Structure 1
């Protein structure tokens, strides 16, 4: 019996080492690189952690990288209760459980929103954040007086999205990616990640994030924060106002491209990260 228990423990240890995480976390985790300073990468809506591959290739020689793919996205099994708050809590628990010492959190799009929320709700735990092309409240672009709804009903969005034929959903995603990504060589991968995503999670998180307003919450952020925004935001009023409650925010605008700045203005993006992360390299 003791031998069987020992073998079971060895098998469990091998599983954790191989996958990079225990089954208690709803998201997929890939661990790479080396270094005392940790970076947690959070991809955007319906994206795989592979969206950070080019970034990691530059920084994993100096940092230990924990790259997430959120549950229900890009082929990762869905969780029973997807929500912005629950995902934030799961990432916070992961950081705590793994004893990551003031990690840098880098997030794109909705992942950037999660980085903002983590830095606001756990100001003593996060070292720095990099937010790639997201605002504290996207809905406020159309309605500056927007207020989040309590108990927001996402069922109509879920019903519409889940009943959509695959061909229609695919066509919608192809059109969406042409509007979000200038680098045409990367679009097919992004569309594929969407097609592999759980449609209910896709709809629920789209609805939930559309109802998220972090403009007041970010007052609590204490860590340095680099905010990288697409060039189109220069032409839109109210961008700086969304971050006015966050004195640590450094707003910088890309010179070209669209929403996927890490692809569309890659050299500029990598230089901004390098300059921002340099003081914490060990």
Structure 2
């Protein structure tokens, strides 16, 4: 009898472990879920940004849509995870959509998040209903070098060592000097700098290097869904180069902001929300 009791306890313990681990499956991001609409939106922030970058956007649409707002592991104070890479993060988002049975979500991504939206729509064309790319291009490195070719097994150790080798003051100063070239709204500068400063330096260095090695120019030919491409005002001066990168994306709708810099959601808010509203309701 004692033998059977031990076996039953072992079985129940195993079942409990399976249930717990099944419920706590790790994805390379944290998720904030709000709203209860039939159509879902997944918001993907940019490099070293918090999901809070979408607060105003989400508040505008959460009464009509179910909104999933991501913050990537290692960014903006979130706990880092090993093996951070653009492709692993893309796969993680796809798995989250499948595991949670999110039916044909709309993806809205800013900067690197926009590139992740492109990669997801290209590699999982039947999983996504629409994408919005907020100030991103298929190949960032090709802006300066149109002949750029991605490196296989790209070594990011130099970038990681550079970031982890900085003192806190040096890293803060670097971010403080960089952000005014990306964000015109001075009321948001300290917040955005703080997201970077709170990011894990290894993840920061690894993803900075890895993202610069990404080239989606040919892959985006596989995208089937409608794609709204919102670009900062300066990019109108680079229109042939920008739209040349997107030449394989047949569903692209290009719109250029009227003012401001890279953080379009802050710098040209009314125009940005108007573009989103029109596209989401089509």
TM-score > 0.5, shorter chain as reference: yes
User: How much is the aligned-residue C-alpha RMSD, in angstroms?
Assistant: 1.8
In structure 2, the partner of 1:80 is 82
1:176-231 residue CA offsets vs partner (Å, 9 max, x unmatched): 11110001111111111111100000000000000000000000000000000001
The equivalent position to 1:22 in structure 2, one of 21, 24, 30, is: 24
The equivalent position to 1:268 in structure 2, one of 263, 267, 271, is: 271
In structure 2, the partner of 1:145 is 147
1:144-196 residue CA offsets vs partner (Å, 9 max, x unmatched): 11000001111111111100111011011011111100011111111111111
In structure 1, C-alpha distance between the alignment counterparts of 2:102 and 2:60, rounded to whole Å: 21
Query: Secondary structure at 2:243's aligned position in 1?
Result: helix
The equivalent position to 1:189 in structure 2, one of 181, 188, 191, is: 191
In structure 2, C-alpha distance between the alignment counterparts of 1:34 and 1:199, rounded to whole Å: 36
The equivalent position to 1:211 in structure 2, one of 210, 213, 234, is: 213
Shift of 1:26: 2.4
In structure 1, C-alpha distance between the alignment counterparts of 2:136 and 2:226, rounded to whole Å: 17
Query: Secondary structure at 1:250's aligned position in 2?
Result: strand
In structure 1, C-alpha distance between the alignment counterparts of 2:256 and 2:144, rounded to whole Å: 21
Query: Secondary structure at 2:79's aligned position in 1?
Result: coil
In structure 1, the partner of 2:5 is none
In structure 1, the partner of 2:177 is 175
Larger of the two Rg values belongs to structure: 2
In structure 1, the partner of 2:241 is 238
In terms of mean alpha carbon deviation, does 263-272 or 24-33 score higher? 24-33
| TM-score normalised to structure 2 length | 0.92
Query: Secondary structure at 1:238's aligned position in 2?
Result: helix
Shift of 1:141: 1.0
In structure 1, C-alpha distance between the alignment counterparts of 2:33 and 2:241, rounded to whole Å: 38
Shift of 1:75: 1.1
The equivalent position to 2:167 in structure 1, one of 165, 168, 184, is: 165
In terms of mean alpha carbon deviation, does 26-35 or 111-120 score higher? 26-35
Shift of 1:23: 4.2
In structure 1, the partner of 2:38 is 36
In structure 2, C-alpha distance between the alignment counterparts of 1:262 and 1:103, rounded to whole Å: 21
| TM-score normalised to structure 1 length | 0.92
In structure 2, C-alpha distance between the alignment counterparts of 1:187 and 1:64, rounded to whole Å: 29
**Count of residues in Structure 1 that have an aligned counterpart in Structure 2:** 268
1:253 aligns with 2:256: yes
1:82-138 residue CA offsets vs partner (Å, 9 max, x unmatched): 000000000000000011111000000000000000000000010000000000011
Shift of 1:269: 0.2
In structure 2, C-alpha distance between the alignment counterparts of 1:126 and 1:258, rounded to whole Å: 28
The equivalent position to 1:277 in structure 2, one of 269, 277, 280, is: 280
Q: After TM superposition, where is structure 1 displaced by more than 6 Å over at least 4 residues in a row?
A: none
1:96 aligns with 2:98: yes
In structure 2, C-alpha distance between the alignment counterparts of 1:128 and 1:22, rounded to whole Å: 29
In structure 2, C-alpha distance between the alignment counterparts of 1:24 and 1:73, rounded to whole Å: 16
